[in-house]
Every structure is written in C-alpha cells, then in structure tokens.
Structure 1
Amino acid sequence: MTAHLQGSLFDQADEVRLGPLTGLARTTLGDGAWIDLLPAWLHGADALFEDLARTVPWRAERRTMYDHEVAVPRLLAHYGARDPLPHPVLDEARAALSAHYAAELGEPFTTAGLCFYRDGRDSVAWHGDRTGRGAHHDTMVAILSVGEPRDLALRPRRGGPSRRVPLGHGDLIVMGGSCQRTWEHAVPKTTKGVGPRISVQFRPHGVR
C-alpha cells in the first residue's frame, strides 16, 4: 500500500521508540467516562507509518447497510492475542500500556486492530466498542496514531455537545471507564486536503 505522507517537522527521528507514559493527562468526560491523552508518545512515528503502510496485509471490506452492500471507507487489519504484531514497537507499546494500567484495568491489552485512513474521504461513523464485554462493563481502548493528524470526535450518547481531539504523528489516547457505553467516537470525513493516517487500537480480550 502506497500513500504520500507529509512528514512532521517535529519528528525527524530515524529510531522508532516510545517515550515515558508519565506525561499522560486525564480529562473527565462525565457519566463515568474519561480519556487520557499523551501527544507524541512515539518518536519516529513517520518511519513507523511508512513501515506499516508497506508491510501490513490491509483488507478492503464491504458491509451491508440498509439492504445495500457498501465499501468500508478505510482499510483494516486485525491481530489477535497470539498473532505477532507487524512491528516490534507495537509489542512494546502494548506491554507498556498493560503495565501502566494494570491496577485500573485489571487485565492486559491483548489484541490490536489497525485502520488506514488514506485521505479525508476515509472515516468511521459514530460508535462505541460495545461488542462483547464493553457493552456491560467498564473497559479501556488505547489508540496510537501515526501519519497526519485526523480528528477523533467524541460525544455523549444521551445527547450534548461533542469535542474533537486531533491525533497523529505518534499521539496516544486512552478511552476508559464507561466511555464505550456512555459516549461515542468517530473519525469524520473532511474536505480538507489531509494526508494518510494509521491508527492502532489496543483492546483487552473480548472487547471489540
């Protein structure tokens, strides 16, 4: 898969490595939901983007909506608990997140889902990760973003104003507490001339 990435002026590192998680900042959303945000957790994020774009076996999927089959507007890949991840730094990221949130989460992150947003036409609609245990229990989903920034939008399910968090170039966001049940998130389409982005979503067992 080829895609043109406008590299970050602030991340020209050749070595792909993680920074510490000590800079995580928590925002309380309400209804028991929260997000933790850490900009530029991953150094060398542009190099990782290029590697993932080239080597991951991306799938173009189709889904049925309103009696019609439509193309999913992004490319996908999924790695189960026993699958080797496509880059060693992703193993390190999953282990670091599992250790950092061990007391709060009570279990490790096990799976990794990858989404490739090729341009502003690619998106994901409003949803919560409520397939499986996330429909009934507090859980966490950690997202590491590489490539050019795209907005992650969040809104309360019961209604109310939404907020947007731009993510790219190695940024980390963790959605926790009741976030998957009481809030929804999306990556909206945009007519702006945005470049490609890859998100890596780490989840515990049984959460999709």
Structure 2
Amino acid sequence: MTIPLPLPANGIDVALPGASLTLLPDWLERERAARLFDELRDTLPWSVHRLRMFGRTVDSPRLSAWIGDPGATYRYSGTDFAPHPWTEALSALRERLERELEVPFNSVLANLYRTGRDAMGWHSDDEPELGPQPAIASVSLGGVRRFALKHRQDATLRRTFELPHGSLLVMAGDTQHLYRHALPRTAREVAPRINLTFRWIEPARRR
C-alpha cells in the first residue's frame, strides 16, 4: 500500500529496508496537544487489559482504552476488545488523519504510560483483522519516549528514535510483516505519555 503522505518540511522518512515509515515531529501544535492530553487522561475509560503471555494471564504494563465504530472488535493476545464510542476529540483527530493521509480509520487504541516503568514489549500489529498491509497512524502526547524497531530475521536492521509530544508516526506497507516494534522501559524520570494508534479493523478477516 502506498499512502499519499502530506510530507511537510518537518516530515522525516525513517529508512529501513522494506518498511514504510514517516515521522512528523510537530503534527499537533504543542498547546493543543497538551490540552488534548489532559482531556483524554481525565475522560477516557482507562482499564488494565489482561494479556496472555507464555502460557499465563498477566496485567498489561500500561492503561488502555479501545475506541471505535460499532463492530470494530479487536482481538489481541487471546482477548476480544469491544470498542467504546468515539469521543468528540478523537473523532476530530480521525477526520484530520483521514483527510491528510487519504486512508480510512474505524478505531483507535489509546495507551497511557504512567511512568517509565510502563512499556510495550516487542510485537507487530499483524492481526488478521488489520488486513494484509495495515496503515497505522500513531499520535504521541505527553512525555517523550524511545521507540524501537527491529527486523524479524535480520538483527542488524534496527532503528531507535524518540517520539516527541504532538508527533505523528505513520507505519504502512509491509512494515508490520517485516519488523517488530517496542516502547522500552526507562529508568529515567519521564512524564506520563498517551499514545493513540488509529487503525482499520475488518472483523471478517479474523481467523
């Protein structure tokens, strides 16, 4: 899939063989991003998702909320997540992303990383209901965290970079099939962070 990205002067193509990654560090104006962070932190239905890992069920190391159209149920780590209704703020973000990227989105996963101990382990967003070449738009709000990618077969192909407050990272094409990504823990003091990953869910594709 080729996405017609807006690519303004501050857009950065992240070079990794076979991947389609573009980072826009200042996609949201800082004050607007700060207001959005406060609103989402205080109003979204945050919960601790239970995940299946290594044969046992554990609490996820972050708070999450799944938002989307009716029927946009997402299956992750053996659990089905039915969507909560769209909020006005998230609907406005979806409309802007669809307009600028010319890609539809019917859901968004919100994750709240409260401290540097909250994290996301190595994974790919390659569930069947995301389609063969998913386009994922990832908006970061709040504390700056390190984002890492590595190739599934070639360990020498890896990149690490920071996701600033108000930034947008777009992952498309074969990125999810070739690479895994993670948000590692950090011992340094870091402000809380909210990440919003907009997706298109096709429940009929589920195995």
Q: CA deviation at 1:138?
A: 1.5
User: Do the aligned partners of residues 177 and 28 (structure 1) sit closer, same or farther apart at CA in structure 2, a change above 3 Å counting?
Assistant: farther
User: Do the aligned partners of residues 78 and 200 (structure 1) sit closer, same or farther apart at CA in structure 2, a change above 3 Å counting?
Assistant: same
The match for 2:24 is 38
Q: Provide TM-score, normalisation by structure 1.
A: 0.79
Query: What's the secondary structure of 1:153's corresponding residue?
Result: strand
Query: What's the secondary structure of 2:22's corresponding residue?
Result: strand
CA distance in 1, matches of 2:128, 2:99: 23
CA distance in 2, matches of 1:138, 1:156: 16
Whether 1:69 and 2:57 are equivalent positions in the alignment is yes
Question: Aligned letter for 1:85?
Answer: W
Question: Aligned letter for 2:170?
Answer: V
Q: CA deviation at 1:203?
A: 0.5
Question: Aligned letter for 1:145?
Answer: S
CA distance in 2, matches of 1:190, 1:79: 28
Tell me the alpha carbon deviations over residues 67-109 of structure 1, each in whole angstroms, 9 at most, x when there is no partner: 3332110000001224543342x3232222223332xxxx511
The match for 2:76 is none
1:186 aligned to 179, 182, 187, which one? 182
Whether 1:120 and 2:116 are equivalent positions in the alignment is yes
Q: RMSD value over aligned CA atoms?
A: 2.2
CA distance in 2, matches of 1:144, 1:79: 14
Structure with the largest fraction of strand: 1
Q: Which 4+ residue blocks in structure 1 deviate beyond 6 angstroms? A: none
Name structure 2 gaps, 5 residues minimum: 71-83
Kindly tell me the number of residue pairs found equivalent between the two proteins: 182
Residues 155 and 161, structure 1, Cα contact 8 Å, conserved in 2: yes
Name structure 1 gaps, 5 residues minimum: 1-19
Question: Aligned letter for 2:91?
Answer: D
Q: Provide TM-score, normalisation by structure 2.
A: 0.79
2:164 aligned to 163, 168, 180, which one? 168
Q: CA deviation at 1:56?
A: 0.7
Q: CA deviation at 1:22?
A: 4.4
